Structures are given as C-alpha cells and as structure tokens.
Structure 1
C-alpha cells in the first residue's frame, strides 16, 4: 500500500447533542443537516481550499493546506450557524464544536488520513465549547494576530490517548477581540515569527541500529519537552517536528513553514563505547549558525545518558536563545515589555555594578508596560540580590526588596521555577537555609535542568554547618550544566566550602579558577584573600583585597560580620576563622 507522510491542517467538526436532537425529530434534523451541508458547510470548505476526508452522520473531517484557511472556514461555519439559529428555540438549535490542529498525518492510497495530526484535532473538537473553535498551540501560532475574535488560553490539557499534554486555545466566534486604545503614534506592526520560537528537528541517529535510533528520538522528545517549559519561548510540538525526520531540510524553508525564528538540528553518533553529540542552533531567517556544540559521552545507562544530554543541551540553549533575543531587542526601534526584558538580561549578564543597575532599570521599564510580566519581576529581584552582594551597606534593604518582588511574582505565577529559585537563595542568605532548600527543591521539581539550584544547595549546607556536603552538590550542578554561564559561582561555592572546612590550599585553587572565569564578583576576591592570608601568602592576599575593593569599595570586616547568613554555631565558628584570614590579608576593619 502506498502511503504519504505530510504536514497538514486538520479540521474536525461535530454537532453538539446530535443524538438528543435526532431523538426528538429525526426526519426534521436530517433535513436541516442536509441543507446545512449544501448551503453552508460544503461551500465554506470549497472556498477555503479544503478537502473533505471523511464524513460521519453528524460531523466531518477536512484537510487544509494552511491553518489560516482552516480557521477561516471554521469561523464561516460557526457564523453561518449563528445566523441560522436566530429565533430557533435553544433545545432545537444545531451547534458545532470544532477542533483544528497542524500536525503530522499519513495519507493512504484511498485518500484517507491517519496519525496524530488527525487524532489531536478530533480530541480538540471533543473539548471545544459549543459554538467555539479549539486550536492547538501549533495551529494558533500560525494565525495569531490575524483573528478578529476573542481567543482564550485554556492552558495545558491532557487529551485522551495523546502522549503529552498540549496547550489549547479557544476561539470564541461572535465575541470580538478586546480593543486596545491606540497610542498617540502607533508603532509599526511586527511581522514574521513569534519571538523566541523554536523547533527541535529530530536528531539524526548515526550508527547503532534501531535501539540507538529509539534512544536518539527519546533525546529529541525530552529536549522538546524541557525547552517548552522556558518562559517567553514557543517550541513547536514533537509531532509536528517529527514530520521532518529523515528528510533533507532547508532552514529558511522550515522557518517559513512552521513560522519559527530558530531551528535546532544535530546528530548523535555511537561507536567504540562512546556517543558523540553534535548540535547547531540556526537563525531561520538567514540560515546562519548562531551556536554549535560537540561533546562526547561514554555509553552508560540509557536513561541516565538521556537525562544528562538533555540537561546539558537545555541549559546551553536557554542561554543562547536569550542572548540571540537580546541582540534582536537592542535593534528594535519600538521596544515592548518583552524587548525591555531581554535587554535587561543582556545587561545583567555583563556583570559589574553599572550593568546590574542598568538591568534593573530595563526590567522596570518592562514592568511599566506589563506589570504582570513575571520574568521581569524576577529579573528586578535578581538585580537587587546581586547589588546586596556588591554593597554591604545596602544588603538588608536590597534583600528585603528582592523577597517582596519574588513573592509578588509567585502570586502571579506559582509555577515560576525562577521565582522559587531566587526566593530560596534570598532565604539562604538571610538565616533561613532550611526554608531556602525547600524553595530550591520546588524549583527543581518544576524544572529539572537548573544546575544553579544544586550549587545553592551546597551553599545552604555551609550555612547549616555541613560544609562537608557542599562538594557533592556543586559536582551535581556541573554534571547537569558543565558549561553554564554562571559556573564561576559554583567554583566559588566549592571554594567557600573548602575554606570553611580549613582546606585553605584547595580553597585558594578553586577561588583562582572562579576568578579566572569572571573577575567581576567581589566576594571571590575577599574569600580568596582569606585563604591566602591563612596560608601565609601575604603579597598574593593583599593583591586580592585590592582587587575586591576596586569592585566593592565599601567592604569591611565589620560589615561582613554583621551580615552573617546563619546563626548556626558550627557555621559561626568557621566564619570567625575566615574573618581572621581576611584581617591578615588587610581587609579594612570598618
């Protein structure tokens, strides 16, 4: 049998309560249904270039070449029913539920369609409100901004016999989209793909046979799922992405077909007891490579390997996507809240006080335009936390402000893993390490790929007088995200653990590695000065004090002592030894 696999927009429509209507007056209902088909349904399908695949007694399955055509047809059908139901008693009205999805289908020799694309559209029809159209996220992305009716985000929905939950939107035909007052000078409308939109194309399996191919497909699916959890990011569903499996693809064409900005492609090769992972992130508009990575892993337990590969790629891709969007935002002549957010992230990632302060200003600009933008709220809190570490005299005020901001973010979105993460960090810094650990665990339950959560868990152990446990937590952070942009902080935390345990030489080496990666963090220099002072390496210690004071000129021993992060007696005793090391190095008393 000849079959063809392709990407198609599928519309499924069904009459609400058909059995009840037919039971009351079957002949009349059948006559009305025949009239609807000839006068409304079939002409609408024809005008919008649809193909009827299958009819049921009370419904129809239609294939369209584009989602735009499918949605226009659905709207025309629902509007026609509204007109025909005018003056008809409610219990005798014929109303449709409609579901529309863009996805992978298999066309058989007789023209019938099978596959997930059809199944998902049918399930969407089943959960649609009578008179409305339920759209999958993949379908909605194609028509966003082109619909004059109200659209509601129904959130993630588990559909019967569909493996993964899908985000669903409801188009309310007859309810106009909310009108927004026009600004005095309207900015030009943006065109093209949604910001930070991405498709993860199926990774190619090289060597290893069917078992290896299944493993590689699993990596693609898990990576798609993990990336879809990133805020401000739209990721094309797995079913749609897999229509490109095994086919030569042109990045620009894929970008146009799926309306995305970025494409991730790559391969996993198996041989000689190792796997080699190659990935590339491509700008779909230009076809240029934005980022590429290659790394090898020894073959081990399949699930462990899959988790490790996915975690590493998800962390790297998050950073690269944010950087790419920040570069775009800098060039945007009419920035909106999301543009300001990405600009803030770009400034924040540069480090140094002036950049952190600028980041806070940009996050605040975003919040002026959208006070409920959770990522911008968390961004402002992050800036306050970092400023608390740079400026002792502002520490209490900054941390209090950050906690208030983070609680506000969680009131808006209780599932924001970034808000839970940073709230946990604030609590660790303010004598609430146990509560902080709870927040970190909550963050990791929402996003397993947060390496920094493990590192901060190690920091909490120091505050709890259990510095001997810090090294293992930091090692887990590096396992999850070995090339993380803030990995220098993890080295710092590992060094801090060694310093509190009295392993001063090991601490100094870890601090040196951290400083080599980023020279903008003052506590690195001051704690390295303590380790070197305790080792009797006086000139090196004094140089570190000088470097630290150049970044944080207000740092003093008195301020450091007053800012003790815990009242645990083991911690305080170890901390006094650190203070003595700083004193030997020449840190001002204050």
Structure 2
C-alpha cells in the first residue's frame, strides 16, 4: 500500500495531548520563555506537515534519515515559514505544525516548501526521498506564546493525514480566502469525513505548476492527462433542473442502472457508483475527473421528468482528447423508461465499437411497473448506508415487491439491506441472515443474471458452513459483473478464509481500482487480507486510513501493530476496539469464523491476544 494510507506516527503522537484533542507544548530550544496570563482564543491559519513513509525510511537507515530531515527543516522549512511570516509552534519526529495570520501566506509557504523539497529530491533515489504531506485549516484556536491547540489545529492535522505525498490539502475556510488571489488551481474534493471530527469538512487540493516530472503534483488543467488506453468508463451523476427530491432520486437511479448494465459489457472497466457519484455538484474539468478516476471515457448528462414524459440529455466523452463520441437528447413517455435505458446502453456500446470490437448488446430487460421502479430506486439508495437508512429502505423495497413480485432487483436489494444489518449492526444476526438468504435466493430464481443476488447469497452460504458452494456462487456473481467493486472486496474476505491470502490482497486491491473513493469497509477488507499475508506494516497503513471503517478495522490494526512489536500502540488500538465491543473473546471469535485451516485462524487469534484482547 502507498504511504498515504495512514496517519503518521508523528501526527498521531501530536494528537494524543490534552484529553486527546489538544497539543502538549514543545518549542524549539532557542525559543525564549515568557510568562503568560493563559491561553487566549483567536482565529489562525494552521499548517500541519509530516514526512510520508517516515517509519519505513527510519527502519532502513535511522541515522541517515534523521540527519537528512534535520537538514531539510534547517535549510528549507524554517526559512520558508519565516519568509511567509509564520511561526513553527511544534515539532515531533517527522512533522511540524505552524501558524500564520494570513491564509494566502500559509498556502504560499506550503507550495514553496513542496517545490523546495522536490528540488532537494532531484538527485535522491525514489526510495530515499523525504516528501511532505500538508494540510491547512483556518479556524478558532486557543493560543499562548508556547502553544496553539484546539479543534482548528486538529482539523489541519487530520487533513494532512489524508494528503498524497508531495501534495497540499486545504479546507473550505482557507479556500474562501485564497481562491482567485493566487496563481494556483484548487480542485474540489467534496465533503470528507475526518477521523474524530464529527462534522464533514469540504476539502480542496492545491495544484501548481512544477518542472519536477517526479513530483506527485500535476500541472495546470491544460496539461494532457495521462489516461489508460483500455476501455474504461465512469458514469457521472446526471444533473437535474431543480432540487426536487423525486427528480434527484430518479436521476440517480438512471445513472446507477447505466453503471450496472455497462458493468456487464465484456472488456469494459466501469468505475463504481460510490466513486463516480463523488463528483456530484463539482465544477471540474472532465479530463481532471477522468484522470483522478483512472478512466478514458465519461458519460455525463441531465434528466428532466415532468408528468408522463422524461427527457435525457447524455453524451459520451473521450477524455484523452476531450472529443464527444456520442451525444443525444431522448424524449420518451415515462412508461418507456426501461426501453430508454436499454437504448442508451446500446448507443454507448456502438460508440465504443473501436475499443470493444467483441461487445454485444445486452439482453432486453423485462418491463417493470413504474411505481415499483420508483420505490426500488429510493430503497436502493438507502440500502447500504447508516443503520437508520438501511432499515428505512426495507419497507420501500417490500412495497415494490408487492406491486411486482417478479422484480428481481428489489429482492436482491432487500437481501443487501438485511445483509448489511447482519454485517455491521449485529442483533439479531440470525434473523437478518435468514431474511437476506431468502430474498437473495428468490432474486436468483427470478433472474439468474442478477450479480448482486449471487454475491449476497454466496457470502451467506459461505458463512453458514456451505463454504465451497458459497464461493462458487460468489464467483458466478463476479463473472456476471466483473466490475462489482464491493464483490471483489468481499471476495478478499472469503479468500482469507480459504487460506489464499496473496489472492485476497489482489482481490481487495482490484476493488480499489474499480472504486478509487471506496466506502470505509474496503479498507477493512484490504487490511484484513494484508494481515493474513503477513504484510503487517501495509496492514497498519491501510487500517490507519482516516476513512477505514467496520468493526474489524481496530481489531486487526491492534493485531498488526502487536505483530510488528509495537505492543503499546497495539494495546491502545485494542482498548479502542473493546470500548465498542466489551464482550469480545479472541477464541470465541475464532470459533465463529469459517477458516479452512486452523493455522490461519490461530494466526489472527495470536495477534489479538498479543495486543491484549481477551483470550
């Protein structure tokens, strides 16, 4: 895994100060000591930075890495901060924190630091380079002459942990002060969930021109994007002409159905909904979107639904040269919506004939009642979200089935809803699994080509003792839809149980290719597979990612840290896990897991016990 998939040891240690939210004072030795009346509140711009992969570099050559970092701080960092009227108020291992009175000066400083660091790296081997990640936030802080602390600082530190090596992320509050005032580009990353920050934070990535071809920061929007030449596509969320909830659900449903249908086209790589829909309401160059998603083709458009009519404006873009391969406005009766979806897919396949010479039109879908379809679209949008929403999905899906008992998709997503509840929300697990299995089996009976149903049914059968049959069912789902990112992530889970850890890692990594902005459980599955493969350091980096989620993340992080000899850190992670699951027993857990080999089961149990989890 890349070095970006963790909160660094330096940043993590900085976040362990006063009550876990503030920073313990630590000043450079030459800073004079003054008497203070106590901390005061003020607005400040905070820049947080650390070196990506510092632990790996120290492990390789501790003396050399330490000496080079001190030189970088002395020759590049401190002069740049002083030039831009900032103050370093904390250093810790591989990172530092600085405050500025001006957002413009803070961003200028960050870019100058990245440029200066890149210049020093020109003659350094790739695996020895010191590369900073940076996050900048403007917020209310508590400060005295020694220290700055509080929520405004924490947000900057969490933002830095999300940044790619060599890049700078800023919050919306900073963007408001620097947009159009600096010769830089700001790419909207949408609202992001930061670890231990309760509210979502809107984030922007800073782009600047650079002559360093090895830099991870790309140039301006007019640069030619580096896009894959394979047939790869993303369906962007369709725009609506107003904010009416019915319009939005309907537009999302059409786009998601297109993703599902295109995923079944032989030879076409299709990005998952979770990632392509992340670009909703963002004004970005299409080539930038394609580059970030790693695709060559994009579908975008708009939907207008009025009374008994629907209008779709859609176009297919080749992002390698910004050319439009196909564009059309389609006006139809609402009752013809299913035929309309088939028509759009057929036109896309025809337009990509040069890239997909062997692709054939998909079989026509069975016409479904429009009221049932509306209920299905709403239910599907809720089915795999929070506890409240996944349960709110079930009455909608059940009503869709009442209206049209032969609606395979509604049965499949009803199964998904119960399966999601069993996986993440617990009791009564048995009832949810039974309901999920019944619904999935019904969906497969109605439509043997429904990949979602095969995948859910296979997962349940594997966990209920029919392991080989379950894996076969699962693999059939992925043959029907090889672009099912969640399917690949869950297959990684089953490969671990089979004792095929290396393949498990490959499956999980494939899920990231199909879903570059995945839900948190994808990180959990990848970290689980990496631990099984003995890649403990990779597992720690993955499971420390701010987006990592799912009950297993903290448990497996604790085990991986313990296996690396980081016993205290492992026990701290174990305590966090036990605060949520106080009745956990490593051996009892092992008895419930369908490992084919006892040695693989024991490998996890040993790690949990070593981390201090109850035996």
TM class, shorter-length:
0.3 to 0.5
Q: Of Structure 1 and Structure 2, which has the larger fraction of its residues in helix?
A: 1
TM-score for the superposition, normalised by structure 1 = 0.43
The structure, 1 or 2, with the larger RCO (C-alpha pairs under 8 Å, 6+ apart) is: 2
Q: Which has the larger radius of gyration?
A: 1
